[in-house]
A = this chain, B = another copy of it.
Amino acid sequence: MIKISTGIRYALRSLIYIAMNYSGKPLSLKEIARDQEISKKYLESLFRLLKNAGLVHSSKGSVGGYQLGKSPEDITIFEVFYAIDGPINLVDCATNPASCSRTGKCETINFYKEMQDNLSSYLTKTRLSDIVTTAEKKIAFLK
């Protein structure tokens, strides 16, 4: 079954939360975890990955926390997927032909490559700002 991992779901929600609550000061994991109802310990492991990818940067210490590493317009959803789950690889043979003994005989590789391109380009063209904008419109409407 094709699924989006909880790691990605949590990371997206956290990034959106940071984007929508920017005040110049970093937000701590404690606060993000509380608001988003996510285990703080689990968030720690995710934010390490986000930081390595440059999507957030951190400050340590007693008023430390995280801020976005780039503006929301410059963060593609593809980057978030890549940071948390690694390269998108619907099937091994599409990326690494040597992984399958039937490479060359098999008629499905082109289909998988095309499907993967379709997915990647969708994830690349939608950006964090798109989701945030939609959310802000919803909130404005409710007021």
Contact = CB atoms under 8 A, between A and B. Distances in A.
A12 B108 contact: yes
Contacts of A131: 107-108, 110-111
Given A37-B101, A122-B118, A2 B85 contact: yes
B119 A134 contact: no
A106 interface: yes
Interface in A42-92: 77, 81, 85-86, 88-91
Copies of the polypeptide in the assembly? 2
A115 B81 CA distance: 13
A14 to B, nearest CB: 11
Contacts of A41: none
B134 A89 contact: no
Contacts of A1: 5, 85-86, 89
Given A2-B2, A107-B131, A119-B119, 13 more contacts: A1-B89, A2-B5, A3-B89, A4-B91, A4-B112, A9-B108, A13-B107, A16-B107, A77-B111, A108-B131, A111-B126, A111-B130, A118-B118
18 contacts: A1-B86, A1-B89, A2-B2, A2-B3, A2-B5, A2-B81, A3-B90, A9-B91, A9-B108, A107-B131, A107-B134, A111-B126, A111-B130, A111-B131, A115-B123, A118-B119, A118-B122, A119-B119
